[in-house]
Structure 1
Amino acid sequence: MTGMDEPRWLTLPEKEAWTGLVSLMLLLPNKLESPLREVDLTLFEYLVLSHISEAPDRRIRMSDLAFLASGSLSRLSNVVKRFEARGWATRSPDPEDGRYTLASLTDTGYALVAEAAPIHVRAVRELVLDPLTATDLAALTRIAAKLRVVPPGLETKPG
């Protein structure tokens, strides 16, 4: 390691924290996705549909949706294209600024979100929220905000 500082090796508490976080990042998404297979959705697809359903008039700019769903614009575009083929969503130019594209949820798409939401929230409660105390929940919220896992501006929004 010529010309470089020695690495700051992890202490045991740091290693335990890191290992725990990596386990959450790698294992939790699959556990949250598994129940959604009942309605033939992936976790990412559910999150996309859910964010559209929560937007005013069930319409949102694709760029904003990509940010909220933590996905690239190209990945989101492919997913919304599949949604269009299934009759769950439509895309159209933003009437306020034609450089943007809006994703809109159809009534069929909204019905699917309404069916999937209870399944998802049960999994979230069982796997994430119920095992935590109020103190744990506050700490998780604070840590996620510090690590910028929670999109800015959403830290205090219910959901």
Structure 2
Amino acid sequence: MSDRRLAVEAWESLFRAQHEIFERFASDFTHGPLHQGEYDVLLTVTRAPERTARLRDITSNLLISQPSVSRLVDRMVVRGLVTKCPDPNDGRGSLVTATEMGARTFREVALAHGRHIAERMSVLSNDELDQLVALTRKLREGQ
């Protein structure tokens, strides 16, 4: 069992770093063609086979409630970024597919956002980045 005080200090440090970095990246979405939530939806959808993901998979990747994700996706349908149709394998579910415009817009934003992420993370070596990935994965998996 780890030291409780050290565990709390590490958690607070991780939380503050995430919050501060997230605030710096928010400007990538302030005046661009996509809002942060739309980017997150398209990140999940464009990485899926045939640029199609189940709505429940999108919801599990976002940090907002299922009704909020549904409303966000519906707004994205209106904007022409995605399409939404019933999931033939799940009568209660939906499939969300990136349109050509949605995929193109995502790629444009992702290029700039990826550069900003790489710049910010450049304070870490490749070994440290590997360690960070391993540690955060371990925290998420609860091992």
TM above 0.5: yes
**Where does residue 141 of structure 1 map in the other structure?**
133
TM-score by length of 2: 0.84
Aligned-residue RMSD, C-alpha: 2.1
Distance in 2 (alpha carbons) for counterparts of 1:141 and 1:29: 17
Q: Please state how far the C-alpha of 1:68 moved relative to its aligned partner.
A: 2.2
Query: Cα deviations across residues 1-40 of structure 1 (Å, max 9, x unaligned)?
Result: xxxxxxx8625x852x333212123222222221233423
TM-score by length of 1: 0.77
- The structure with the largest alpha-carbon Rg is 1
Q: Point out the structure with the larger strand share.
A: 2
What secondary structure does 1:102 align onto?
A: strand
1:10 to 2, 5, 9: 5
Contact 2:33 2:105 in 1 (8 A): no
Q: Do structure 1's residue 86 and structure 2's residue 76 form an aligned pair?
A: no
What secondary structure does 1:39 align onto?
A: coil
Identity of aligned residues (%): 29
Q: Point out the structure with the larger helix share.
A: 2
Deviates more, 1:114-123 or 1:29-38: 29-38
Q: Do structure 1's residue 108 and structure 2's residue 101 form an aligned pair?
A: yes
The residue identity in structure 1 corresponding to 2:95 is L
Instruction: Count how many residue pairs are aligned between Structure 1 and Structure 2.
Output: 139
Give the unaligned 5+ runs of structure 2. Answer: none
Give the unaligned 5+ runs of structure 1. Answer: 1-7, 150-159
Q: Which structure 2 residues correspond to residues 37-116 of structure 1 after superposition, within 5 A?
A: 37-116=30-109
Contact 2:54 2:93 in 1 (8 A): yes
Relative distance call for 1:105 and 1:9 in structure 2 (3 A) is closer
